[in-house]
């Protein structure tokens, strides 16, 4: 969706929502679609934590496990070797908050794909927004015509899988990813 706008607002004033894409993404592995989760620090039952204050839980070796999962899923993709080290460098910076981690990942993929969309942050909660949630059928990409197939390593075995992380598109299409998004 970012490719279709000159600027977009990221909701910076909302409270963290469990079971959302704020700390997870979907990838295509040999066994099918898998979720990668970025663990957060849970603060004693508090449910109204501003998104900018949610801490990433670096006390477990989740990053190493995540990198191994990405390696296994994408090592055969055409552009994985080209982007792997620079992506892992972004992840290995280990930002303190989930907001910082998410924004660094978004900026990384935008830069690699060649998106020049300006990212702005809300100064107060904006109740009107597009909601993408993993627990319900998502038609947003289909409605925008962004669910059309592109090359995927396991598609010949398991079929094309839409609604994955932009990482899947970049590792499989490389510099052609932007053309696919337009």
Domain ranges of the chain: 2-181
Count how many residues are written for the chain.
182
Is 63 in a helix, a strand, or coil? helix
> Token pair of 89, please?
């460098």
Return d(Cα 177, Cα 170) in angstroms, integer: 6
- How confident is the model over 68-110, as pLDDT tens digits? 999 999 999 999 999 999 999 999 999 999 999 999 999 999 9
pLDDT of residue 4: 79
Residue pair 177/169 in contact (Cβ under 8 Å)? The answer is: yes
Greatest alpha-carbon span in the chain = 47
Look up the pTM and report it: 0.87
- How confident is the model over 26-78, as pLDDT tens digits? 999 999 999 999 999 987 766 788 889 999 999 999 999 999 999 999 999 99
Burial zone of 92 (CB within 10 Å; 0-12 exposed, 13-18 middle, 19+ buried): exposed
């Amino acid at each position: 969706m970012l490719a279709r706008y000159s600027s977009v607002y990221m909701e910076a004033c909302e409270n963290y929502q469990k079971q959302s894409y704020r700390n997870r993404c979907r990838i295509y592995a040999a066994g099918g679609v898998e979720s990668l989760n970025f663990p957060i620090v849970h603060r004693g039952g508090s449910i109204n934590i501003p998104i900018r204050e949610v801490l990433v839980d670096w006390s477990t070796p989740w990053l190493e496990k995540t990198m191994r999962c990405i390696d296994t899923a994408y090592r055969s993709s055409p552009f994985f070797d080209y982007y792997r080290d620079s992506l892992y460098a972004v992840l290995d910076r280990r930002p303190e908050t989930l907001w910082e981690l998410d924004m660094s990942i978004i900026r990384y993929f935008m830069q690699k794909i060649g998106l020049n969309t300006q990212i702005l942050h809300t100064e107060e909660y904006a109740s009107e927004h597009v909601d993408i949630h993993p627990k319900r059928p998502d038609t947003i990409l289909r409605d925008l015509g962004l669910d059309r197939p592109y090359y995927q390593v396991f598609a010949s075995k398991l079929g094309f899988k839409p609604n994955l992380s932009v990482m899947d598109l970049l590792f499989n299409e490389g510099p052609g990813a932007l053309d696919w998004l337009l």
